[in-house]
Structure 1
Amino acid sequence: MKLLLIIFFLICSSANAQWFQQNSGTNQRLNSVYFINQNTGFTCGYSTVLKTMNGGANWTKQSLIGNLNSVWFINEQTGFICGDSGRLYKSIDAGNSWNLIPLNTFNHLKKIKFKNNTGVIVGNKTSVYKSTNAGLNWSNVSVGIDTLDLLNLQIFSEQKFFVTGTESVIFKTFNGGISYTGNNFGMPNPLFSIDFYDENRGVISGCCGMLLRTENGGNNWSPEVYLTPGYTVHGIQYLNSSSYIIASEAGIVYRTTNNGTNWDSLATNIYVDYFGMHFVNYNYGWIVGNSGVILSTTNGGGQGFPIGISNVSSTIPENFTLKQNYPNPFNPETNIEFSLKNSGVTVLEIFDISGKLVDTPLNQILTAGSYSLNWKSGNLASGVYFYKLTNNNLTLTKKFIITK
């Protein structure tokens, strides 16, 4: 019976896999990815630039000096890469060759983005560089606070853009960088990623799974939510007006289709830290991360599984425990609480009385702590069921009753 259940689980996992690992040809950490269209794309990392002309089926490698943090193309021919020690590279031949552009700085440059002809670069010591002519010239419009580093940005126009950084800061300018106003959430969390659907709706993600959302152009931000406790979200992108997707450390990818009210887990089955993500439309997207990992999807990440789990406490428990669900019996939903003494891949499975696996509401890496998971029985018939929790090769099982 155990063998049959394992085979059944593996078949289901394979059938639901909607992310495909591509052969990057490198084991270097990859920090950023950008696709011009469904076929042509680039990724960069430590002394490494990779290019594909067929959606990632094949990648060709180029070597540039330095740790490279961000890549962006403004059209099929012209692209930029920025990196540590003030390095800025430019290509005018579709990424076949790259030239070093002097910026007269040794600050680490973390992110580069363009909107039409306006480009902005951010980096250490609140460095900000801006171009208004598609990267032909760059001017220094830094915030001027040497104790903070900037990590990401959002451009709305030549005059208006936001930058995010360490100490949970968000700086806004409405005059092209002549002056800035700031938000500070009073926490040490770096804010690594930002994306806006339009000038009103935006999201920011950062350290320890922190997520912020605005509906009024950044005048107010929702109270912080920790979506992936203990794991930093490095990538976030809108897919449409109500859907966005995040990529995190520990191989976590989540998607919401109702502006963050509910989330689905998109299983990639590759448990490395993800640092870059780019979708060219709702369906076609790529994620890059540690060990040269490149993942691709052609259907928006595929079928997701609802997340109904909350981190009740981050205090490390003394034991690995699984509590009796409540209410029990129940219809249509119940709560399942458990505690993890050690961090690791944690799986919760539901079996019917015959031993058939009927649902896997949880399959992800969790940090040590106490959790509560809300589970809905859906169309399952009345009867006795078993729920099994597995963490680091330890297993606990209890039973509950569905009454309809």
Structure 2
Amino acid sequence: MGSYKKCLLLALGASLVLSQGIAQATNFIDVLDQPARLSTLAVRSPLLATARAGDRLVAVGQRGHILYSDDSGKNWLQASVPVSADLNAVSFPTPQQGWSVGSDGVVLHSSDAGATWSKQLDGRQIGDLLVKHYSALAQAEPGNEQWPQLVEDGQRLTKEGADKPLLDVWFANDQLGYVVGVFNLILRTEDGGKHWTPFQDRIDNPQGLHLNAIAAAGDALYIAGEQGLLLKFDDTQQRFLALPTPYQGSFFGVVGKPGEVLVYGLRGHVFRSTDGGANWAPLNTGLQVNITAATLDTDGHYELFTQAGQRLVSQDGGQGLKLMAQQNPSPVAGAVQAADGTLVLVGNRGARVLSQE
């Protein structure tokens, strides 16, 4: 798919499916209806994203596993999750309210800092959401040719079933948020996920490219996608506008602060902008491996990580990146700074605290 994280999950899941054999087909239960299994090994299972919920850390990953830690990643407990779908991303705009998204269009919500979760939406509903929303617009504006096309897109999603993954989630607060995914799939909520509005007509992505990540840098909201796609939300027009970028490969993430934003992706590519995305300058990483995770620490330094476990730290106010020595590096899919200042990483070997040696 368009996301490194999704590719990682597909590779890991393939071996699991083959080992189970076809005999279990007669006992099939949809992952959207099967709660995640509690396991003492969950902390060592593949995890794809992590976030702060106040002082608590929350990590999400394969087979619906969600873990939380109250001691900066030293120990983890497994959350109660109503699905066993693979989870790709997590966002906590407040210490208590959080959302996670993943395969089969699933959207989960927690109101207790990640200890328990409920399902708000899944891929079996998304197609119908699009059809209903854009059919109403088509009826109101019969001369607008884009509405029938978007209705058709919704009908196709409904026919194909719940197999379209959501790749990222971002919430500004406990009410306003977005989820993004493959083939230009984007939904917006203004009531904490009780209702979701399709946003496909409000994004400059005519090719329907995958939307890999959504994140804020200062007051600006960005979406990074495949084939060099980068978008920024325009408050006046209430839509995501395409930005010019000097690279045509996939971007996997966005990280930034007021007055500065970095985008990163395939083959070690990182670009920096200090003018809201109008212009971009490449940062030399010295690497040819995918940059797959990033975080901004409390000192304003960027920490970037690769699928091979390499660590890059920003220098000179973000204008340069320094490769740091690592002991026993392993693939990194998500990174976050804990309340005590330590860095916690997640990847195909689960969660770990980054050694400072």
| TM-score (normalised: structure 2) | 0.68
**CA deviation digits over 1:198-234, x for unaligned, max 9?**
1x21111101110000011111111x34515221111
- The match for 1:128 among 186, 190, 195 is 186
Q: Deviations over 1:329-354 (max 9, x none)?
A: xxxxxxxxxxxxxxxxxxxxxxxxxx
Tell whether the 8 Å contact from 2:50 to 2:334 is kept in structure 1 after alignment: yes
Closer, same or farther: CA 26–90 of 1 in aligned 2, 3 Å: same
Q: 1:185 deviation in Å?
A: 3.6
Q: Which has the higher contact order (CA 8 A, sep 6+)?
A: 2
Question: 1:250-329 residue pairs with structure 2 within 5 A?
Answer: 250-280=308-338, 283-292=341-350, 294-297=351-354, 302=356
Q: Could you tell me how far apart the structure 1 residues matched to 2:267 and 2:353 are?
A: 25
Q: 1: CA distance between counterparts of 2:42 and 2:207? A: 38
* CA distance in structure 2 between the aligned counterparts of 1:260 and 1:175, rounded to whole angstroms: 27
Q: Return the structure number with greater helix share.
A: 2
Q: Measure how far apart 1:151 and its partner are.
A: 0.8
| Runs of 5+ unmatched residues, structure 1 | 1-22, 304-404
Residues 226 and 129 of structure 1, relative CA distance in 2, 3 Å threshold: farther
Counting only pairs closer than 5 Å after superposition, residues 179-258 of structure 1 correspond to structure 2 as: 179-185=239-245, 187-198=247-258, 200-222=259-281, 224-239=282-297, 243-258=301-316
Task: Measure the CA separation in 2 of the matches of 1:277 and 1:156.
Answer: 17
Match in the other structure for 2:90:
71
Deviations 1:313-371 (A, max 9, x none): xxxxxxxxxxxxxxxxxxxxxxxxxxxxxxxxxxxxxxxxxxxxxxxxxxxxxxxxxxx
How many residue pairs match? The answer is 273
Tell me the distance in 1 between the aligned counterparts of 2:299 and 2:184.
Answer: 31
Given the alignment, which residue of 89, 93, 108 partners 2:165?
A: 108
Shift of residue 102, structure 1, vs aligned partner? 1.9
In the superposition, relative to structure 1, how do residues 226 and 208 fare at CA in structure 2: closer, same or farther (>3 Å)?
farther
Task: Work out whether residues 244 and 259 of structure 1, in 8 Å CA contact, stay in contact via their aligned partners in 2.
Answer: no
Q: Secondary structure at the match of 1:189?
A: coil
TM-score for the superposition, normalised by structure 1 = 0.61
RMSD: 2.7
Q: 1:234–1:249: 8 Å Cα contact kept in structure 2?
A: yes
Separation in 2, partners of 1:240, 1:288: 19
Question: How far, CA to CA, are the matches of 2:106 and 2:301 in structure 1?
Answer: 35
Distance 1:295 1:268 in 2: 13
Matched residue, 1:118: 176
Q: Of the candidates 150, 154, 166, which is equivalent to residue 215 of structure 2?
A: 154
Q: What are the ranges of 5 or more consecutive residues in structure 2 without an aligned counterpart?
A: 1-39, 127-161
Name the amino acid aligned to 1:29. Answer: P
More strand by share: 1
Q: Counterpart of 2:102? A: 83
User: Which of 231, 254, 275 is the matching residue for 1:171?
Assistant: 231
Distance 1:257 1:282, change over 3 A: farther
Change in Cα spacing, 1:256 to 1:289, as seen in structure 2 (3 Å) is: same
> Quick one: percent identity of the two aligned structures?
18
- The separation in 2 between residues aligned to 1:85 and 1:94, in whole angstroms, is 24
- Tell me: CA distance 1:32–1:24, structure 2 relative to 1, closer, same or farther (3 Å): farther
Post-superposition shift, 1:77? 2.3
**For 1:129-162, what per-residue CA distance to the aligned partner results, in whole angstroms no more than 9, with x for missing partners?**
222334343221123545410111223699x522
Describe the superposition over 1:371-396 as per-residue Cα deviations: whole angstroms up to 9, x where unpaired.
Answer: xxxxxxxxxxxxxxxxxxxxxxxxxx
Q: Following the alignment from structure 1 to structure 2, what is the Cα–Cα distance between the partners of residues 25 and 108?
A: 22
Partners of 2:243 and 2:278 within 8 A in 1: no
Distance in 2 (CA, whole Å) between partners of 1:257 and 1:190 is 25
